[in-house]
Amino acid sequence: MDRLLVLCRHGQSDWNLKNLFTGWKDPDLTEKGVGEAKAAGQRLKAKGVGFDIAFTSDLTRAQHTCRLVLAELGQPGLETIRDLALNERDYGELSGLNKDDARAKWGEEQVLIWRRSYDVPPPGGESLKDTAARVLPYYIHRILPQVMAGKRTLVAAHGNSLRALIMAMEGLTPDQILARELDTGVPLVYRLNADTTIASLDVLKG
């Protein structure tokens, strides 16, 4: 049985380009981001990877990425489940702010703590720990059963919602996951053992 799970961060968004905190705000992909998503689909196709089901967040940039990947694979009508449990971390009062402006308002050290600590949320927002608290139950109850039943599964989501998943799957510490960078539009191809542990990981960089 092929217990295949592919995680893919969305392609570059308009606010990534403008260096803005995005969170639950809903900008679409840039032209570069569209290209990244298409390239992700092409790299998966070259590896012979196709899907039986897909999951994505409630945000446009992840949904658009998912559609583009599936189109490249010739699977445009694949069953795709959308859920806000997979949304990006909510940056609260930082959302929509230029990262330099946020540093000017709160100080570089404070902004760094909000961005790079595991359990300190920005004002009105979520920490990575908070994000994990909504992502992991969804993974355990909705996504993992599909994978373990042999359905080849795509999850197109966000840097921090995917970090939360990877932390649990790979057994990483908070410090380790905070140091883990996820490139936009790069598929992570996991194959799982019968006990849900990781058998292999293939990072499909261009």
Q: How far is CA 55 from CA 31, 67, 146, 147, 151, in A?
A: 23, 11, 11, 12, 12
Residue 88 is a catalytic residue: yes
Give the pLDDT confidence of 150-206 residue by residue, as tens digits.
Answer: 999 999 999 999 999 999 999 999 989 988 999 999 999 999 999 999 999 999 997
Cα 27 → chain centroid: 15
Instruction: Tally the residues of the chain.
Output: 206
Question: What pTM value is reported for the model?
Answer: 0.96
Q: Choosing from 36, 64, 72, 88, which is the catalytic residue?
A: 88
Q: In what order do the strands lie in the sheet with 80-82?
A: 80-82, 53-56, 153-157, 4-9, 187-192, 198-203
Give the pLDDT confidence of 174-183 residue by residue, as tens digits.
Answer: 989 988 999 9
Residue 126 is a catalytic residue: no
In the chain the domains, ranked by start, together with CATH numbers, are 4-153+167-188 (3.40.50.1240)
In one-letter notation, the amino acid at residue 184 is T
Q: Choosing from 10, 64, 126, 158, which is the catalytic residue?
A: 10
